[in-house]
Amino acid sequence: MRSTIELVLVVAAALFFALTIQAFAVKPYRIPSESMLPTLKPGQRILVDRFSHHVGGDPKLGDVTVFLPPDGADRGICGHAGEGPFYSGGPETRRSCSAPTRTKSETTFVKRVVGLPGDTIAVVNGHVIRNGKPAKEPFASACYMAACNLHEITVPDGMYFLMGDNRGNSDDSRFWGPVPRDWIIGKAVVSYWPPSAAGTL
């Protein structure tokens, strides 16, 4: 009887610590789309460091992050007034959304941090111009559609500009605005599946 109780306690303790680690430290995620190609492929699985954000660490430029986008991101809604993915005139105006909706979505996204609070961000042929200088982005693909060329905006305090590496096929801050710090869950640190893609990010 005593050994059974001890076993139950050990299993309960192990389950508690596993759930605690997942909630506050490290959590697995599956890549759902092609927006982060060639860095991450659909179906690839990653581990995300949630702990550093819980203790006050801020996202860094170039971090691949998991976050909750603004509510309506999957529908191309920009700003709290309910504008479309771009302000008046459509993508040909090259005017990106500068403010997200007031509430967050419940669907997690995976993108890269390309703009920090206070940065000025423009996009030319899919490549970021940060504070007037081309960003070093060997991971990013060029693209030449209207949405790949955006006029400069300033990232508000406490927010981050996020983009997919697959610039011609990514739903990101170009369409629904920067993301508040509190909506960023953590940094992707390791890919663990498939084995051929295993390694640090």
Q: Give me 178's structure tokens.
A: 């920067």
Record the pTM: 0.79
pLDDT tens, position by position, 103-117: 788 889 999 999 999
pLDDT at 84: 39
Within a domain: 173 = yes
Is there a domain that residue 165 lies in?
yes
Inter-residue contact 106 to 70 (CB < 8 Å): no
Amino acid (1-letter code) at residue 29? Y
Residues 154, 198: Cα–Cα separation, whole Å: 36
Of 99 and 183, the structure prediction assigns the larger pLDDT to 183
Tell me what pLDDT residue 74 has: 65
| 84 located within any domain | yes
**Taken in order 45, 38, 121, 106, is the CA torsion positive or negative?**
negative
CA 197, 195, 34, 25: dihedral to nearest 10 degrees? Answer: -90
- Distances from the Cα of 200 to the Cα of 21, 39, 41, 197, angstroms: 19, 11, 15, 9
What's residue 3's pLDDT? 61
Q: What is the CATH number of the domain that holds 32?
A: 2.10.109.10
Q: Alpha-carbon dihedral of residues 143, 188, 105, 139, nearest 10 degrees?
A: 0
Please indicate whether residue 133 is annotated as part of the active site.
no
Q: Concatenate the DSSP letters of all residues of 48-59 into one string.
A: EE-HHHHTTPPP
- 142 domain-assigned: yes
| Residue at 4 is within a domain | no
Residue 100's nearest CA partner among 124, 75, 72, 137 is 72
Q: What is the pLDDT of residues 49-104, one digit of tens each?
A: 876 665 567 899 999 999 998 877 766 565 544 443 443 344 455 555 656 667 78
Task: Calculate what percentage of the chain has a pLDDT beyond 70.
Answer: 71
Neighbours of 135 (CB within 10 A): 17
Number of domains composing the chain: 1
Whether 18 is in a domain gets the answer: no
Given 96, 111, 187, 191, the catalytic residue: 111
Contact between residue 194 and residue 44 where contact means Cβ atoms under 8 Å apart: yes
Q: State how far the Cα of 200 lies from the Cα of 166, in Å rounded to an integer.
A: 19
Q: Does 41 map to a domain?
A: yes
Judge whether residue 6 has pLDDT over 60. Answer: no
Instruction: Express each pLDDT in 29-41 by its tens digit.
Output: 999 899 999 999 9
Task: Give the domain extent around 143.
Answer: 27-200
3-state secondary structure 106-149: CCCEEEEEEECCCCEEEEECCEEEECCEECCCCCCCCCCCHHHC
**Average pLDDT, rounded, for the chain:** 78
Residue 35 belongs to a domain: yes
Euclidean distance between CA atoms 129 and 77, whole angstroms: 24
Q: Is 35 a catalytic residue?
A: yes
